[in-house]
Protein backbone atom coordinates (compact mmCIF):
# COMPACT_ATOMS: atom_id res chain seq x y z
CA UNK A 1 0.00 0.00 0.00
CA UNK A 2 1.29 3.45 -0.89
CA UNK A 3 0.40 6.94 0.26
CA UNK A 4 -1.88 8.68 -2.29
CA UNK A 5 -0.17 11.30 -4.43
CA UNK A 6 -2.97 13.73 -3.60
CA UNK A 7 -4.68 13.39 -0.20
CA UNK A 8 -7.79 15.15 -1.55
CA UNK A 9 -10.27 13.36 -3.83
CA UNK A 10 -13.01 15.01 -5.91
CA UNK A 11 -16.66 13.99 -5.62
CA UNK A 12 -16.64 12.76 -9.20
CA UNK A 13 -13.58 10.60 -8.67
CA UNK A 14 -14.99 9.16 -5.46
CA UNK A 15 -18.32 8.36 -7.10
CA UNK A 16 -16.45 6.27 -9.66
CA UNK A 17 -14.80 4.30 -6.85
CA UNK A 18 -17.99 3.29 -5.06
CA UNK A 19 -17.95 -0.32 -6.18
CA UNK A 20 -17.57 -3.62 -4.35
CA UNK A 21 -14.00 -2.61 -3.49
CA UNK A 22 -14.99 0.85 -2.31
CA UNK A 23 -12.92 2.68 0.27
CA UNK A 24 -14.24 2.94 3.80
CA UNK A 25 -16.18 6.22 4.02
CA UNK A 26 -16.05 8.04 7.36
CA UNK A 27 -18.41 10.92 8.10
CA UNK A 28 -16.83 13.28 10.63
CA UNK A 29 -19.17 16.26 10.38
CA UNK A 30 -18.45 18.48 13.36
CA UNK A 31 -18.88 22.04 14.64
CA UNK A 32 -16.50 23.82 16.98
CA UNK A 33 -19.28 24.96 19.30
CA UNK A 34 -21.75 22.13 18.58
CA UNK A 35 -24.14 20.55 18.15
CA UNK A 36 -22.51 17.19 17.33
CA UNK A 37 -22.67 16.02 13.73
CA UNK A 38 -24.43 12.74 14.40
CA UNK A 39 -27.85 14.31 13.74
CA UNK A 40 -26.61 15.50 10.33
CA UNK A 41 -25.40 11.98 9.59
CA UNK A 42 -28.77 10.51 10.58
CA UNK A 43 -30.54 12.94 8.24
CA UNK A 44 -28.47 11.78 5.28
CA UNK A 45 -24.97 10.62 4.41
CA UNK A 46 -22.94 9.02 1.64
CA UNK A 47 -23.91 5.40 0.97
CA UNK A 48 -21.97 3.04 3.22
CA UNK A 49 -20.44 5.80 5.32
CA UNK A 50 -19.97 5.26 9.04
CA UNK A 51 -20.06 8.14 11.50
CA UNK A 52 -17.20 8.85 13.88
CA UNK A 53 -17.39 11.62 16.44
CA UNK A 54 -14.28 13.79 16.19
CA UNK A 55 -14.38 14.64 19.89
CA UNK A 56 -15.26 11.25 21.37
CA UNK A 57 -13.83 8.79 18.82
CA UNK A 58 -10.79 10.42 17.22
CA UNK A 59 -9.38 12.51 20.08
CA UNK A 60 -8.57 11.91 23.70
CA UNK A 61 -10.68 13.51 26.44
CA UNK A 62 -10.12 17.25 26.93
CA UNK A 63 -7.92 18.22 29.85
CA UNK A 64 -4.21 18.81 30.45
CA UNK A 65 -3.45 17.76 26.86
CA UNK A 66 -5.72 20.45 25.42
CA UNK A 67 -9.21 20.42 23.98
CA UNK A 68 -8.44 17.84 21.28
CA UNK A 69 -5.42 15.81 22.43
CA UNK A 70 -4.12 12.69 20.73
CA UNK A 71 -6.29 9.62 21.26
CA UNK A 72 -5.14 6.60 23.20
CA UNK A 73 -3.83 4.21 20.50
CA UNK A 74 -5.70 1.20 21.88
CA UNK A 75 -8.96 3.15 22.09
CA UNK A 76 -8.50 4.46 18.56
CA UNK A 77 -7.78 0.97 17.26
CA UNK A 78 -11.01 -0.29 18.83
CA UNK A 79 -12.98 2.55 17.22
CA UNK A 80 -11.49 1.96 13.78
CA UNK A 81 -12.00 -1.79 13.94
CA UNK A 82 -15.62 -1.29 14.98
CA UNK A 83 -16.03 1.04 11.99
CA UNK A 84 -14.91 -1.82 9.73
CA UNK A 85 -11.39 -0.68 8.90
CA UNK A 86 -9.15 -3.57 7.89
CA UNK A 87 -5.44 -3.41 7.28
CA UNK A 88 -4.68 -2.01 3.82
CA UNK A 89 -8.19 -0.74 3.06
CA UNK A 90 -8.35 2.81 1.64
CA UNK A 91 -10.24 5.44 3.62
CA UNK A 92 -12.03 8.63 2.56
CA UNK A 93 -13.17 11.07 5.24
CA UNK A 94 -15.56 13.97 4.82
CA UNK A 95 -17.10 16.76 6.86
CA UNK A 96 -19.57 19.56 6.16
CA UNK A 97 -17.23 21.14 3.63
CA UNK A 98 -14.62 23.36 5.30
CA UNK A 99 -12.27 20.33 5.54
CA UNK A 100 -11.23 21.14 9.12
CA UNK A 101 -12.66 18.07 10.85
CA UNK A 102 -11.90 15.89 7.82
CA UNK A 103 -8.30 17.10 7.82
CA UNK A 104 -7.92 16.29 11.52
CA UNK A 105 -9.40 12.83 10.88
CA UNK A 106 -7.02 12.39 7.92
CA UNK A 107 -4.09 13.46 10.07
CA UNK A 108 -5.09 11.20 12.97
CA UNK A 109 -5.40 8.14 10.76
CA UNK A 110 -2.10 8.89 9.02
CA UNK A 111 -0.44 9.43 12.42
CA UNK A 112 -1.89 6.07 13.47
CA UNK A 113 -0.17 4.32 10.56
CA UNK A 114 -3.09 4.15 8.11
CA UNK A 115 -1.45 5.24 4.87
CA UNK A 116 -4.17 5.34 2.21
CA UNK A 117 -6.37 8.14 3.56
CA UNK A 118 -7.98 10.93 1.55
CA UNK A 119 -10.28 13.86 2.21
CA UNK A 120 -13.36 14.51 0.07
CA UNK A 121 -13.07 17.90 -1.62
CA UNK A 122 -16.05 20.07 -0.74
CA UNK A 123 -17.22 17.61 1.89
CA UNK A 124 -20.88 16.65 2.15
CA UNK A 125 -21.92 20.01 0.71
CA UNK A 126 -20.05 19.23 -2.52
CA UNK A 127 -21.40 15.70 -2.92
CA UNK A 128 -23.87 15.37 -5.82
CA UNK A 129 -24.33 11.61 -5.74
CA UNK A 130 -26.70 9.40 -3.81
CA UNK A 131 -27.50 10.15 -0.17
CA UNK A 132 -29.01 7.65 2.24
CA UNK A 133 -30.21 7.39 5.81
CA UNK A 134 -29.34 3.70 6.03
CA UNK A 135 -26.77 3.03 8.75
CA UNK A 136 -24.35 0.27 7.74
CA UNK A 137 -23.39 -2.60 10.02
CA UNK A 138 -19.83 -3.34 8.91
CA UNK A 139 -18.02 -6.49 9.96
CA UNK A 140 -15.21 -5.74 12.41
CA UNK A 141 -11.93 -4.77 10.84
CA UNK A 142 -8.43 -5.84 11.77
CA UNK A 143 -6.44 -2.61 11.42
CA UNK A 144 -3.49 -2.19 13.78
CA UNK A 145 -2.79 1.31 15.06
CA UNK A 146 0.89 2.16 14.97
CA UNK A 147 1.48 5.76 16.14
CA UNK A 148 4.22 7.77 14.47
CA UNK A 149 3.04 7.82 10.87
CA UNK A 150 3.15 11.62 10.81
CA UNK A 151 5.28 14.03 12.85
CA UNK A 152 3.66 15.60 15.89
CA UNK A 153 4.88 18.38 18.17
CA UNK A 154 4.58 18.75 21.90
CA UNK A 155 4.98 22.13 23.63
CA UNK A 156 8.78 21.91 23.73
CA UNK A 157 8.88 20.90 20.08
CA UNK A 158 6.60 23.77 19.10
CA UNK A 159 8.87 26.25 20.89
CA UNK A 160 11.87 24.75 19.13
CA UNK A 161 10.26 25.03 15.70
CA UNK A 162 9.26 28.63 16.45
CA UNK A 163 12.90 29.34 17.23
CA UNK A 164 14.69 27.31 14.54
CA UNK A 165 12.09 27.00 11.77
CA UNK A 166 8.61 28.38 11.15
CA UNK A 167 5.68 27.74 13.46
CA UNK A 168 2.45 28.85 11.81
CA UNK A 169 -0.55 29.97 13.87
CA UNK A 170 -3.58 29.52 11.60
CA UNK A 171 -6.11 31.20 13.89
CA UNK A 172 -7.82 34.48 13.05
CA UNK A 173 -5.52 37.49 13.30
CA UNK A 174 -7.32 38.99 16.31
CA UNK A 175 -6.84 35.77 18.26
CA UNK A 176 -3.17 35.67 17.29
CA UNK A 177 -2.70 39.26 18.41
CA UNK A 178 -4.42 38.54 21.71
CA UNK A 179 -7.22 41.04 21.09
CA UNK A 180 -9.97 38.42 21.30
CA UNK A 181 -10.19 34.84 22.53
CA UNK A 182 -13.65 33.29 22.21
CA UNK A 183 -12.71 29.75 23.23
CA UNK A 184 -9.64 29.50 25.47
CA UNK A 185 -9.06 31.28 28.82
CA UNK A 186 -5.81 32.99 27.74
CA UNK A 187 -5.34 35.20 24.68
CA UNK A 188 -2.19 35.54 22.60
CA UNK A 189 0.16 33.25 20.74
CA UNK A 190 3.30 31.16 21.11
CA UNK A 191 6.35 33.44 21.04
CA UNK A 192 8.03 33.29 17.65
CA UNK A 193 4.98 31.90 15.83
CA UNK A 194 3.84 33.66 12.66
CA UNK A 195 0.30 34.31 11.49
CA UNK A 196 0.68 33.81 7.75
CA UNK A 197 -0.79 31.49 5.09
CA UNK A 198 0.88 28.10 5.27
CA UNK A 199 1.89 28.31 1.61
CA UNK A 200 4.26 31.16 2.49
CA UNK A 201 6.53 28.86 4.51
CA UNK A 202 7.26 26.12 1.99
CA UNK A 203 10.97 26.86 1.96
CA UNK A 204 11.49 26.85 5.71
CA UNK A 205 13.88 24.23 7.12
CA UNK A 206 11.25 23.06 9.62
CA UNK A 207 7.52 23.76 9.63
CA UNK A 208 4.98 23.29 12.39
CA UNK A 209 1.32 24.29 12.49
CA UNK A 210 -1.03 24.98 15.37
CA UNK A 211 -4.41 26.56 16.08
CA UNK A 212 -6.71 26.54 19.10
CA UNK A 213 -6.89 22.79 19.61
CA UNK A 214 -5.29 21.12 16.60
CA UNK A 215 -8.34 20.77 14.34
CA UNK A 216 -8.12 23.71 11.93
CA UNK A 217 -4.32 23.43 11.98
CA UNK A 218 -4.66 19.94 10.50
CA UNK A 219 -6.02 21.52 7.33
CA UNK A 220 -2.83 23.56 7.16
CA UNK A 221 -0.81 20.36 7.39
CA UNK A 222 -2.98 18.86 4.64
CA UNK A 223 -2.28 21.85 2.40
CA UNK A 224 1.43 21.57 3.08
CA UNK A 225 1.34 17.88 2.16
CA UNK A 226 -0.35 18.76 -1.11
CA UNK A 227 2.46 21.24 -1.76
CA UNK A 228 5.14 18.62 -1.09
CA UNK A 229 5.97 19.39 2.56
CA UNK A 230 5.16 15.97 3.98
CA UNK A 231 7.46 16.70 6.92
CA UNK A 232 5.16 19.44 8.28
CA UNK A 233 4.34 18.73 11.91
CA UNK A 234 1.11 19.34 13.80
CA UNK A 235 1.12 20.66 17.35
CA UNK A 236 -1.84 18.47 18.26
CA UNK A 237 -2.53 20.10 21.62
CA UNK A 238 -2.07 23.57 20.10
CA UNK A 239 -2.88 26.73 22.02
CA UNK A 240 -5.30 24.98 24.39
CA UNK A 241 -2.40 22.80 25.56
CA UNK A 242 0.25 25.52 25.55
CA UNK A 243 -1.65 27.62 28.08
CA UNK A 244 -2.13 24.76 30.57
CA UNK A 245 1.32 25.56 31.97
CA UNK A 246 1.47 29.16 33.27
CA UNK A 247 5.26 29.02 33.02
CA UNK A 248 5.09 28.95 29.23
CA UNK A 249 5.46 32.44 27.75
CA UNK A 250 2.59 34.12 25.93
CA UNK A 251 3.07 36.68 23.17
CA UNK A 252 0.60 39.31 22.02
CA UNK A 253 0.53 41.86 19.23
CA UNK A 254 1.21 41.53 15.54
CA UNK A 255 4.90 40.70 15.85
CA UNK A 256 5.98 37.09 16.53
CA UNK A 257 8.29 37.96 19.39
CA UNK A 258 6.18 40.43 21.37
CA UNK A 259 6.05 38.67 24.73
CA UNK A 260 3.42 39.85 27.19
CA UNK A 261 4.80 40.94 30.53
Instruction: Decide: helix, strand or coil at residue 162.
Output: helix
Out of 85, 211, 215, 232, pick the active-site residue: 211
Mean pLDDT of 12-36: 91
pTM to 2 decimal places: 0.95
Mean pLDDT of 111-121: 98
pLDDT score recorded for residue 261? 41
Mean pLDDT of 44-64: 97
pLDDT at residue 176 is higher than 90? yes
pLDDT at residue 259 is higher than 90? no
Identify the domain boundary among 126, 143, 162.
126
Give φ, ψ of 242 to 5 degrees.
-55, -40
Identify whether residues 122 and 168 lie together within a single domain: no
Domain count, the chain: 2
* Percentage of the chain lying above the pLDDT 90 cut: 91
Mean pLDDT of the chain: 95
Measure the CA–CA gap between 210 and 220, rounded to whole angstroms: 9
Candidates 116, 106, 118; CA nearest to 214 is: 106
pLDDT score recorded for residue 1? 53
Residue 211 annotated to the active site: yes
Measure the CA–CA gap between 28 and 96, rounded to whole angstroms: 8
Write out the residue range of the structural domain in which residue 40 sits.
8-126
Which CATH number covers residue 217? 3.40.250.10
Identify whether residues 115 and 24 lie together within a single domain: yes
pLDDT score recorded for residue 119? 98
pLDDT bracket for residue 36 (50, 70, 90): confident
pLDDT score recorded for residue 88? 95
pLDDT score recorded for residue 257? 65
Identify whether residues 74 and 169 lie together within a single domain: no
pLDDT at residue 258 is higher than 90? no
Amino acid sequence: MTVPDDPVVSAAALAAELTNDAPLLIDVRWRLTGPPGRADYAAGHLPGAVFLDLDADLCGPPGPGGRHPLPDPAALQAVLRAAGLSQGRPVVVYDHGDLAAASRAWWTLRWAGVEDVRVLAGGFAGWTGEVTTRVPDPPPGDVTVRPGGLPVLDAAGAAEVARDGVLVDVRAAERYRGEAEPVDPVAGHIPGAVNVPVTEVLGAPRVGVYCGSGVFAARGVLELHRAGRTDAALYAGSWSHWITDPARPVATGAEPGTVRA
